[in-house]
Structure 1
């Protein structure tokens, strides 16, 4: 099935440049919307859903910075991706100003068609995926509302049968009672005793004992009901909690109806109690699930957006491959966590998933106990392992058939220590600077997880050690003999 097209707004006061942008972006297959001024762009935004805005910095009347500020002030467009195009040399201050206004990137003139298409494509896809997640979230909310409506309809049906004592007993979670308003005598059926967790043999039904079983915060409901009947009310319904003698708290809904004498005086009150604890718990689980889905969707989008923004490459193809690789790694660990209902992921499973794209035979040796990782730890460690495997396959031991890789790990006092040892590959030289891969690996392991990522650039192969706390408590590893300098593309040279 063809994917839905998204709208891309092109803003420039020069028709020739707008035409050039149309030609460059035509192959993307998206809807291109034209605006020749900032004011025209604002009119388009108010009428059309826009995925990405490509705007010229230098325009008469309303320049790109001013337009961006006005767009960001509107709640609908606070997260809309904006890319600035500038024909003049942009200073660092101007760049910072642009980013503060909400720009996600700059494109200098002359525009490189491939670069512009790649950038627009990434943000168009991100917008499309975001909308898909929002649609799924709305569907979930609709299902929750439908389920709630079903529960309310079910409750209504139960109310219709509350006055039938035989059906209350058969239902098991319903009970009926009768209160002589004049003498103060109570009568409970078997279902009522069952709901309150007491038995006729050891429980005397009287106002004091009944009140003692009510939740302290709901005692006023009983007093309010008595007051309402004294005022002439003939029927009353409320939800309340009871505290059974064993300490368990149960949710109930109670319906009561008054019987009066010829003078209108209340002489008897009868009612039905329904145990709705499971319904309450189901509603809580549904609400929790809706919040959890929203939270995870936002986290996944934030990680994907960080990968897109921070990835660097000299060529468009390399940039796309790097982004796809990192997002695929994130998707694989997301699948593992989903299968465990987001309870966690096994370290060996993460490693197996990263090994899957390679046919390496006996080149890799794994050793270590079963280790269950928290979801946040699993996501971060999966991305770190992806960087190590990718660079080893390009430049290290896994780039040749003679290369070998040994991965072993152990756990000591809630601290996971993972050793990555390469040998038999190209000769290694200590890199002169850190690239994005190493910087992101160090940042994720050290800043996010409170661990350490350490490198030893031996000539016979890279030796890397990752120390990661297995709990949320930050752990500080002791310094070792490793050198923490590194490079994203592990730069090696043959001797």
Structure 2
């Protein structure tokens, strides 16, 4: 502050002179401090800040020159203004010595009050302004440090924000890019390079190199979008394919916006690219699943229709029981297929489902490797097994406690072979003509799957061999008519 008082130290061994200096300088309004010796002056200096020292050259013990020398040796006091007062005539050498000791001026005795006040006033104002500058410098440095800290904090937050954005973009399989419409310069972020499977250090961003990454069938779509910008469009959205350097084809969605100058001319285009390959694949799987569900629903209805129309029974009760058994067999295999999302069914699971009511004892022996059947194959095999189980429970090995059943299967170069062997049941006679159950098994395995069904009517029990070739299509063809024996015609042997 401009009205802050400064300390002026008056040093003289004569009290009268000190009083005279005090009277002369009192009207300056500063804080006048008196010291009667050099040592007293040093003690005050060590504890207080002083603007000016008015010191008598001639003092006992420690004269003015010696005091000045001691003061200048201390780092804190090197810039204090010292004015020497001398009652004797001083030579130029004395003046030189005084200046070397740090004196800023000499005042001879007798002292002219106006001259002394003027000199003290100048140095007091100089000291005050110097302190003000120092405070301003400190405040400025504080503001600079605070502003620097703010900028560093802002830069840190920006970096963190950019890192979060980069992580979000990477997690979302997104990339951003920028194209200078005027000079043709491109800028891609790391996500853009990742989507296209490129190494930023090895790929040069040129129009030719970028176009080479686009699927040939989609190049024209992007050219048209670019042409729309030239005609005044502000943004566009489109989907296209890219071909990575390793040959992998990926689907992308791009959104871009144009920046224009004051004249409305495009100067920059910025955009975001998103990898939507998984979404496209999911859509394709969904479409395929919808078609397959429709196809399988038609097949299931056709099988149910065949079962209802072609089942025979002595009476209504027998007929209903036969239809229910075969529909239940179809429902069981449908459940197995549903649990696998219609990816297929394991052969052991199908056999266990059909023989479940008879697996409590030691009547049945099952053996064979685990095999995965296609959905259509699983449906047909399950219904054929149901026919064999039903007939065995009525007339064969499963109809007697002493009867035994062995079911084995193997994978013969991609073909499924099932061997059904019954023993210990009622005596078997070879039928004169094939029963309806036998014909339904043969029809389903041979007509639907292109396989083979062989029946050996041995006296000790039936041996049936089923051979199913590997499927030729991902799912079954459209069902044939009921008259052509589509579906398993479940009837008694």
TM > 0.5: yes
Q: 1:416 to 1:185 in 2, by over 3 A?
A: closer
Q: 1:444 to 1:259 in 2, by over 3 A?
A: same
Counterpart of 1:378? 378
> Could you tell me how far apart the structure 2 residues matched to 1:394 and 1:193 are?
70
Native 8 Å contact 2:312 2:491 kept in 1: no
Q: 1:360 to 1:291 in 2, by over 3 A?
A: same
> Could you tell me how far apart the structure 1 residues matched to 2:313 and 2:194 are?
69
> Could you tell me how far apart the structure 1 residues matched to 2:196 and 2:169 are?
15
1:171 aligns with 2:169: yes
Superposition deviation, residue 165 in structure 1? 7.7
Superposition deviation, residue 326 in structure 1? 0.7
3-state SS of 2:366 partner: strand
Q: 1:311 to 1:192 in 2, by over 3 A?
A: same
For residues 92-114 of structure 1, give each alpha carbon's deviation from its aligned partner in whole angstroms, at most 9, with x where no partner exists.
xxxxxxxxxxxxxxxxxxxxxxx
Q: Please give the root-mean-square deviation of Cα atoms over the aligned residues, in Å.
A: 2.3
Superposition deviation, residue 423 in structure 1? 2.0
Native 8 Å contact 1:180 1:268 kept in 2: yes
For residues 312-334 of structure 1, give each alpha carbon's deviation from its aligned partner in whole angstroms, at most 9, with x where no partner exists.
11200111110111111111112
Superposition deviation, residue 229 in structure 1? 1.8
Counterpart of 1:160? none
> Could you tell me how far apart the structure 1 residues matched to 2:312 and 2:465 are?
25
Counterpart of 1:408? 408
2:492 counterpart (463, 479, 489): 489
Counterpart of 1:205? 205
Counterpart of 1:269? 269
TM-score (norm 1): 0.59
3-state SS of 1:433 partner: coil
> Could you tell me how far apart the structure 1 residues matched to 2:360 and 2:262 are?
93
Native 8 Å contact 1:398 1:405 kept in 2: yes
Counterpart of 1:434? 434
Superposition deviation, residue 467 in structure 1? 2.1
3-state SS of 2:376 partner: helix
Alignment of 1:32-47 (within 5 A): none
Counterpart of 1:123? none
> Could you tell me how far apart the structure 2 residues matched to 1:210 and 1:401 are?
78
> Could you tell me how far apart the structure 1 residues matched to 2:463 and 2:350 are?
20
1:223 aligns with 2:223: yes
Gaps of 5+ in 1: 1-163, 474-486, 491-495
Native 8 Å contact 1:399 1:425 kept in 2: yes
Counterpart of 2:181? 181
Superposition deviation, residue 166 in structure 1? 7.3
> Could you tell me how far apart the structure 2 residues matched to 1:281 and 1:271 are?
24
Superposition deviation, residue 405 in structure 1? 1.9
Q: 1:192 to 1:408 in 2, by over 3 A?
A: closer
Alignment of 1:451-490 (within 5 A): 451-472=451-472, 488-490=491-493
Superposition deviation, residue 168 in structure 1? 5.3
> Could you tell me how far apart the structure 1 residues matched to 2:304 and 2:217 are?
46
Native 8 Å contact 1:165 1:175 kept in 2: no
For residues 12-57 of structure 1, give each alpha carbon's deviation from its aligned partner in whole angstroms, at most 9, with x where no partner exists.
xxxxxxxxxxxxxxxxxxxxxxxxxxxxxxxxxxxxxxxxxxxxxx
Q: 1:205 to 1:315 in 2, by over 3 A?
A: same
Native 8 Å contact 2:176 2:189 kept in 1: yes
Native 8 Å contact 1:165 1:176 kept in 2: no
Superposition deviation, residue 372 in structure 1? 2.6
TM-score (norm 2): 0.60
Native 8 Å contact 2:366 2:406 kept in 1: yes
> Could you tell me how far apart the structure 2 residues matched to 1:165 and 1:259 are?
22
From the CA coordinates, give the structure whose radius of gyration is larger: 2
1:345 aligns with 2:348: no
3-state SS of 2:358 partner: coil
Native 8 Å contact 2:409 2:416 kept in 1: yes
Q: 1:166 to 1:412 in 2, by over 3 A?
A: closer
Counterpart of 1:324? 324
For residues 68-125 of structure 1, give each alpha carbon's deviation from its aligned partner in whole angstroms, at most 9, with x where no partner exists.
xxxxxxxxxxxxxxxxxxxxxxxxxxxxxxxxxxxxxxxxxxxxxxxxxxxxxxxxxx
Superposition deviation, residue 187 in structure 1? 1.7
Counterpart of 1:102? none
For residues 193-248 of structure 1, give each alpha carbon's deviation from its aligned partner in whole angstroms, at most 9, with x where no partner exists.
22222232111112111111111111112321222122222222221121121222
Superposition deviation, residue 488 in structure 1? 4.7
Q: 1:263 to 1:409 in 2, by over 3 A?
A: closer
Counterpart of 1:73? none
Superposition deviation, residue 413 in structure 1? 2.2
3-state SS of 1:313 partner: coil
Native 8 Å contact 1:434 1:488 kept in 2: no
Native 8 Å contact 1:344 1:378 kept in 2: yes
Native 8 Å contact 2:179 2:187 kept in 1: yes
> Could you tell me how far apart the structure 2 residues matched to 1:210 and 1:304 are?
57
Counterpart of 1:258? 258
Gaps of 5+ in 2: 1-160, 474-489
Alignment of 1:415-430 (within 5 A): 415-430=415-430
Counterpart of 2:148? none
3-state SS of 1:362 partner: coil
For residues 385-444 of structure 1, give each alpha carbon's deviation from its aligned partner in whole angstroms, at most 9, with x where no partner exists.
111111111111211112222222333222333222222222222223323211111101
1:299 aligns with 2:318: no
Native 8 Å contact 2:235 2:255 kept in 1: yes
> Could you tell me how far apart the structure 1 residues matched to 2:410 and 2:190 are?
58
1:236 aligns with 2:236: yes
Native 8 Å contact 2:311 2:491 kept in 1: no
> Could you tell me how far apart the structure 2 residues matched to 1:165 and 1:187 are?
16
3-state SS of 2:466 partner: strand
